[in-house]
Structure 1
Amino acid sequence: MVRLNCSIFFFLLSLIPVLTEAAAINSLKTFIQETRTVRAKFSQTLYDKNSRAIQESTGTMQFERPEKFRWAYEEPYEQLIVGNGTQVWFYDHDLNQVTIRQFSIAIGSSPAALLAGSSTIEDNFELVELGMQNEMEWLEATPKSKESAFEFIQMGFSPEGALKIMALRDNFGQTTLLSFSELDKNPTLPPDLFKFIPPDNADVITE
C-alpha cells in the first residue's frame, strides 16, 4: 500500500488553475492578487525515479487565502489534509491516525507558500519563464530554501490561461503530476471546512 508523503501535499496545495493575460509568471501573480477561494476536483499520478507510475489518486480540494485549505483524497484511499493557518492535520481514514504539525513549520518554503502564504512569491521562490511547449506556456518555480523537500515545480498554462498541468520533482527523484476539473473560482466556502476534530479513538501524533 502506497501512502501519501505529507510533504507532497504542499505541492498539491499549489496546483490550482488560474487565468492569464500575458506570460505564466504574470498569471501566477494575478491569481494570488485576485483569487480568494477555490473549489475543484483533481487527479494525481505519482512517478518513481524511473518514470514508473506507482500511485494514482483522485479527490477534491477547497482553498481560502490566506493559509486555509482542505484537501480530500477519495480514491484509492481516504485521506484528508486540513490547514487553518495555525495547524495542519493529516488524517488517514484506514489507519485512523492523525498527524498534527504547526502551520508555520509545515508550510515553510513549500509550494503552499507560493499561493497560500502571506509573503510575496519572490521571497521563497525563483521564477523562470520556460516558454511555449506542447501548446502551453510554462514557468518553473525553484525554492530558495536549501531545506525544501522539492527541487522544482513546473506549471503549464493553456492558451485560454488555465493552469492545466503541474509537475513537481522532489528530492527523492519522484515526480508528481496533477490535473484539475470543475474549477470554481471565488466560491463562498463555509468556515467549518477548515476545522478538524480527530475521530474517537484515533491515534494522534503531534510533531
Structure 2
Amino acid sequence: MGKGLLAVSTMAWGVHAQADGVDLLAQFMKQARSGRAQFTQVVTSPSRAGQVPRSKTSSGSFEFQRPGKFRFDYRKPFVQTLVADGQTLWLHDVELNQVTARKQSQVLGSTPAALLTAASDLQALKADFQFAPEPERDGLQWVRATPQSPDGQIRAVMMGLRSAAAGPELAVLDVQDNLGQRSVLTFSGFEINPILPAHTFAFKVPAGVDVIKP
C-alpha cells in the first residue's frame, strides 16, 4: 500500500500509575473521536544473505475521525496522500502520477488503520485482534495487538502510549508484517479531538491522473 504506511492510542483524566497499555488503549478508544499529529516513519526490510537490513525514512502529517476516516500526508522524501473517506481508500502517488482506489471494507479489516479509526471501543476490535500488555519502556505503556486470523499481512502491532494532561495519546506504532518488514511510526504534537473540516477526508482526483481500481 504505497511506500509504507499505517497507525492508535488512549484517554482519561487521572490515569493512575497501575494503568497498563491495554487500559490506556481502552481509555483512548473511548475518548478520542478525532485526532491529528505529525509523524516520522521508518520502514525496515528484512536482511538478505547476510546483508545489513535496509531502512527508509519518511515524514508527514496524520489525521483521523471515527468512524472510518483518516488521512496520511507524506511530504518527505516523496509526496503521497492516503485518504479513507469511510467508503473508499484513496492512494495518490504524485511521482507516479497515479491514484489507486479500493473499497475500505475489503482492505482495512485487520490493519493498524482499523485499530485507529474503525471502532468506538476496544471491545469492538476483539473480533479481529487479541490484546496483551507489554512491559513499560522508554517512558511509555505498551500493548501488543495480534490479528485473530493468521492469514493476513500483519503479524503483530505494538502501540506505545503516554499519559498527557488531556488524556492518553499515541506515541509509537510499531507494525511487523508476515514478510519480515517492520514499520515504526513515531508521533509528535498529538492533538485529541480537534475540530477537523469535512473536506479533510474528501478526496478529489487531480486532472490528468491515472486512476486504478484493483
- What residue number does 2:33 align with? 36
**Pairing partner for 1:147 from 140, 151, 158:** 151
SS of aligned partner of 1:192: helix
Q: How many residues align?
A: 199
The alignment status of 1:195 with 2:202, answered yes or no, reads yes
SS of aligned partner of 2:184: strand
- What residue number does 1:76 align with? 77
Deviation at 1:162, TM superposition (A): 4.0
Which runs of 5 or more structure 1 residues have no equivalent in the other structure?
A: none
Q: Which amino acid aligns with 2:73?
A: A
TM-score (norm 1): 0.88
TM-score (norm 2): 0.85
Deviation at 1:53, TM superposition (A): 4.1
SS of aligned partner of 1:123: coil
- What residue number does 2:179 align with? 172
Identity of aligned residues (%): 33
Contact between 2:110 and 2:154, CA under 8 Å: does it hold in 1? no
SS of aligned partner of 2:2: coil
SS of aligned partner of 2:204: coil
Higher helix share: 1
Contact between 1:126 and 1:141, CA under 8 Å: does it hold in 2? yes
C-alpha offsets along residues 85-144 of structure 1, whole Å, 9 cap, x if unaligned? 111100001111000000100111212222311371211100111122344322110011
Q: Which amino acid aligns with 1:75?
A: K
Distance (Å, rounded) in 1 between the aligned partners of 2:161 and 2:87: 32
C-alpha offsets along residues 13-59 of structure 1, whole Å, 9 cap, x if unaligned? x2x45446211111111111111110110001011113734210000
Contact between 2:119 and 2:125, CA under 8 Å: does it hold in 1? no
Which runs of 5 or more structure 2 residues have no equivalent in the other structure?
A: none
Distance (Å, rounded) in 1 between the aligned partners of 2:9 and 2:130: 20
- What residue number does 2:91 align with? 90
Deviation at 1:4, TM superposition (A): 2.9
Q: Which amino acid aligns with 1:143?
A: P
